[in-house]
Amino acid sequence: MKIIILVIILKLIIIPVYTQESENGAFSSPNGIYVYTGNFIASGTNPFNNITGFRIERREANVDDWDLITEFQSPHTLDEFKNNLESAVNEMPVKISISDMPAEIIWEKAVKYSQIDSIGIWGLSLQVQRALGTVYLDRSVPNEGKYIYKVSYLTANGSVSYYTQHSPVYYPSKKEAISIEIIESSFDFDRVTILTRSVTNSSGLRMMKVFRKENPGGSHKEVSCKFFVFYNNDTAYISLTDSTVEINKTYEYLLQPYDRFGNPGQFTPPILIAAYNINESISIKNIKIETLNTTGFLKISWSTLSFMNISSIKIFKSLDMDTGYYQIAEIPASETEYTDENTEPRQKYYYYISCTDLTGNESARSAKVFAITEYTQLPSNRPYIAGSESLKDGIRIYFVATDEYTAGFRIYRDNGLGDSLAQISDLIPYKDSLMNYIDTSSSLSGALQYRYAVISENFSGVMSQLSNIITERPDKPVIPLTPDKLEVIVRENSAWLYWDDMNKGDFDIIGYSVFRRQVSESGAPLSDFLPLADTMNLLEYNNFVDTAVIPGSSYQYAVQSVNIYGIRSSLSNFATAQLEIKTDYMIPPSGLRAQQVFEGIILNWGEIETERLAGYRIYRYKRGEDPTPVATVNTAVQYTDKTVLNGELYFYYITSLYIDGKESRPGEEISIRRQ
């Protein structure tokens, strides 16, 4: 990754007016044409090598005469600089707050050094360059056409010491508009993150406008987001974060990129993002099934935790508990029951339900329920189960008698594995029209669905037919199995995680959460475990690839299982990954330039933006000699060689040094003769 900075050095020691070769220093924008004046900051109160101001002239490419546009100086005071800065910020389509910029520190460095590249990272800002006078915005461009600019450098007595002529520039710009593509989008905890990359005009991508609306309905409105711009292999990336979203809502985004000078790019297609985890905010609860005995149909009922973001509910059916499920219906989200009329007598059917949200994502499946179809007419003294309730320590069922001669009831239940019903209670005396029974057996498991039925008995000891059958699960916590045999492999500068598929031993496991923390080379923790990917994978995914790693760092990983009831297991065994530092990160500086000054020869080069940079080493040689280092500097991008002799031809190149002691290959080479 590298940023190339163009630095213009003026030959101020030469008294006659001198014309520098044309260079690209003028750029079109919707506001006019931005013209670069150079690297230094000059005014009457703070001259630079006797330069006190600038003159901007313009002509059309096919015209010889120059038109005077303006003469100006860099700001004289901090207040004037702040006013210029505020005006420059307001020129841009995406505004930043002045309070976020250290104006006093920038001004202090500008007065002290009088050079824009001595201000540090803020010297790269177009707004700061505008405010300090190293860039001028020509708003007076009269017509569409091709223009050439000349920048003259004025001394205290009004004479021209030096001038620069820029290459022709078209107005409006004829450069291809920036276009971007969406790499990924996600919602984590309380924010939406969208990662984009440039498709065209990568070097120009600088900022983004974000428009958002709630879906469905509403209209797009501009929202303020945090941005992070970075480059990799000549491709520009922008990561934006929207922290103003509300949980459990769905949003549609439109993005418009802009270049450094405010030229707009192409809008992206709409991006639909759900601000929730579908398996945490949407779930099917209290699923029950009963036989409609007069018809043999099966009625399934349920409740949802929230159907605000659900677009539809899908119902699946099978003759086998584990395989062979197929969709039999997709109904509106507001429905809470469905009757399956496609049944056969004395046949056992299995069902489960899932939800589809507004973005098209499908939730994890519900618990499975089953029933056996019956076609017998209810006898007059047959009881009826009116409902059921899941309790912390068991299951409660409600039932009523349909015969005035009922003496009591007997309760039947299966073992939760689909076997036949067995009596679990003695005769319960009839006391009221609505009766209830609480099953608190220690054998009940929160991982199973149990079928219940009731038989009534009259005063003559004659028992009724079996009641309707109802299915319920106790609300007992079910701790899922902890993931086993977690291992991590470093591959392609990413951490590849693998672990055993715990669903083979625990069918209620629907996914996993991955946690990560940074550790030292000895394995000592440097931070707490934090969730790395909070979305739960489907059953078949027992692996994860972590690409958000930093070369040279060590990470420790752990995994949790999550079951259909939202309960999490303990953390798995820990696995550690050491990311190596690739040598291809060690790039030499570029943009090397040499200029004669009074003290000797001054060198300038482009800054390398990386936290691993330790400094630069300057090499020099004369024809027929071996290169030798003449200086090692820190992260400054300028050096003056004061040991040169008049009349000698010198060759220079520079390497970059890194904190691990490594040195890059030589950068580009230049030559200059000392006069």
Q: 313, 347, 372: which is the final residue of a domain?
A: 372
Position 590 pLDDT exceeds 70: yes
Q: Are the CB atoms for 660 and 633 separated by under 8 Å? A: no
Q: 372, 392, 409: which is the final residue of a domain?
A: 372
What distances in angstroms separate CA 488 from CA 97, 498, 533, 544, one per listed residue?
Answer: 43, 6, 16, 9
Q: Is 481 contained in some domain?
A: no
Based on the number of CB atoms within 10 Å of its own CB, is 438 exposed (0-12), middle (13-18) or buried (19 or more)?
exposed
Length of the chain counted residue by residue: 675
Task: Give tens-digit pLDDT for 193-229.
Answer: 999 988 877 667 888 999 999 876 788 999 988 888 8
DSSP helix/strand/coil, 583: helix
Q: Is 480 contained in some domain?
A: no
Q: Are the CB atoms for 257 and 240 separated by under 8 Å? A: no
Q: In this predicted structure, what is the pLDDT of residue 94? A: 85
Mark whether 24 and 142 lie in a shared domain: yes
10 Å Cβ neighbour count for 7?
Answer: 18
Mark whether 441 and 357 lie in a shared domain: no
What distances in angstroms separate CA 12 from CA 5, 51, 152, 596, 639, one per listed residue?
Answer: 21, 8, 12, 10, 17
What confidence category does residue 424 fall into, taking pLDDT thresholds of 50, 70 and 90?
Answer: very high
Q: Is 378 contained in some domain?
A: no
Based on the number of CB atoms within 10 Å of its own CB, is 173 exposed (0-12), middle (13-18) or buried (19 or more)?
middle
Average pLDDT, the chain: 85
Mark whether 145 and 25 lie in a shared domain: yes
Radius of gyration of the chain (CA): 38
The count of structural domains within the chain is 6
Mark whether 219 and 241 lie in a shared domain: yes
Position 35 pLDDT exceeds 70: yes
Q: Are the CB atoms for 269 and 253 separated by under 8 Å? A: no
Q: Is 524 contained in some domain?
A: yes
What distances in angstroms separate CA 378 from CA 238, 291, 300, 384, 454, one per listed residue?
Answer: 68, 12, 20, 9, 13
> Vertex 509, ends 444 and 185: CA angle to 5°?
145
Separation CA 43–CA 122 (nearest Å): 20
Q: Is 183 left (phi over 0), alpha (psi -120 to 50) or beta?
A: alpha
Q: Is 119 left (phi over 0), alpha (psi -120 to 50) or beta?
A: alpha
Position 575: which residue type? A
Q: Is 410 contained in some domain?
A: yes
Separation CA 628–CA 621 (nearest Å): 6
Task: Give tens-digit pLDDT for 601-614.
Answer: 999 998 888 778 89
Position 1 pLDDT exceeds 80: no
DSSP helix/strand/coil, 657: strand
Range(s) of the domain holding residue 292: 278-372
Structure tokens at 377: 């007419």
Mark whether 329 and 423 lie in a shared domain: no
Separation CA 594–CA 109 (nearest Å): 24
Based on the number of CB atoms within 10 Å of its own CB, is 140 exposed (0-12), middle (13-18) or buried (19 or more)?
exposed
Residue % of the chain over a pLDDT of 90: 40
State phi, psi for 351 to the nearest 5 degrees.
Answer: -140, 150
Q: 152, 171, 190: which is the final residue of a domain?
A: 171
- The domain spanning residue 127 has which CATH number? 2.60.40.10
Task: Give tens-digit pLDDT for 502-550.
Answer: 888 887 888 888 999 999 888 899 989 988 765 555 556 788 888 888 7
Mark whether 30 and 143 lie in a shared domain: yes
Q: Compute the average pLDDT of residues 623-628.
A: 91
Based on the number of CB atoms within 10 Å of its own CB, is 450 exposed (0-12), middle (13-18) or buried (19 or more)?
buried
Separation CA 502–CA 72 (nearest Å): 73
Task: Give tens-digit pLDDT for 78-104.
Answer: 999 999 999 999 988 887 777 778 989
What confidence category does residue 77 fall into, taking pLDDT thresholds of 50, 70 and 90?
Answer: very high
| β-bridge mates for residue 109, sequence order | none
Mark whether 311 and 355 lie in a shared domain: yes
Separation CA 651–CA 642 (nearest Å): 15
DSSP letter assigned to residue 585 = G
Based on the number of CB atoms within 10 Å of its own CB, is 530 exposed (0-12), middle (13-18) or buried (19 or more)?
exposed
Q: Are the CB atoms for 574 and 557 separated by under 8 Å? A: yes
Mark whether 125 and 40 lie in a shared domain: yes
State phi, psi for 111 to the nearest 5 degrees.
Answer: -70, -40
Q: Is 363 contained in some domain?
A: yes
Mark whether 411 and 499 lie in a shared domain: no
**Kind of pairing, strands 160-166 and 19-23?**
parallel
Q: In this predicted structure, what is the pLDDT of residue 308? A: 64
Residue % of the chain over a pLDDT of 70: 90
Structure tokens at 339: 């009757």
Q: In this predicted structure, what is the pLDDT of residue 282? A: 65
Structure tokens at 276: 């929730």
Mark whether 657 and 569 lie in a shared domain: no
Handedness of CA 149, 155, 159, 162 (dihedral sign): negative
Task: Give tens-digit pLDDT for 308-333.
Answer: 677 788 999 999 989 999 999 998 88
Based on the number of CB atoms within 10 Å of its own CB, is 355 exposed (0-12), middle (13-18) or buried (19 or more)?
buried
Prior bond to 102 cis, omega within 30? no
Mark whether 64 and 155 lie in a shared domain: yes
Mark whether 25 and 151 lie in a shared domain: yes
